[in-house]
Amino acid sequence: MTRAEAVGDIEHSILAASKIMVNILAESLIHEGHENVTVAQFRILDMIYNGTDTPTEIAKMLDVSPPAITVLLEKLEGKGFLTRLTNTDDRRRVALILTPDGIDLVENVNDYRAKYLQKVLKKMGRDRATQLQESLAAFNLGYSKLKSKTVDSFAGRDIKRLDSRQKAAKQ
């Protein structure tokens, strides 16, 4: 059995969708004038924006070594997007804080992405978009269980916005 045969249709569909999402992110970074920020670097900034504030947590969530995260954090700090603060009581503990430029980058790129996705969803139609929303909620839950984290850890503010919109729609 070949590798392609071992992966089912649903996995291929998810892989195709993830490639499209990466394209949208890359396009958004370029559109907002941040072509010098990689997708991996943006993901780290977005995680910090959503409340993950230590290098150790980021390394665990991305399943990479702490030294690999340190290299990325140094680059982001050099670009002026974050600050690393060492705990005065325990110098091994470092807190990550986005600078105003880092916050602007995350918010502007995510706003552009959201507008782009609205256009895609409009092309899908309301019924299909609703089906997709339900399926993505299940997918997000499955992923968070796999990582033993809440979905909030990965997309905190995005999930909170979604929850508030769903509550408002039910009223």
What is the model's pTM?
0.78
pLDDT at 116: 95
Say how many CA atoms lie within 13 Å of 161 toward its Cβ. Answer: 8
For 162, residues 6+ apart whose C-beta sits below 8 A from its C-beta are none
| Domains of the chain in sequence order | 3-124 (1.10.10.10), 126-171 (no CATH)
pLDDT at 140: 83
DSSP 149: S
- What is the radius of gyration, based on Cα positions, of the chain? 18
Which residues of the chain, if any, have pLDDT below 50?
A: 166
pLDDT at 102: 97
Angle among Cα 85, 37, 66 to the nearest 5 degrees reads 45
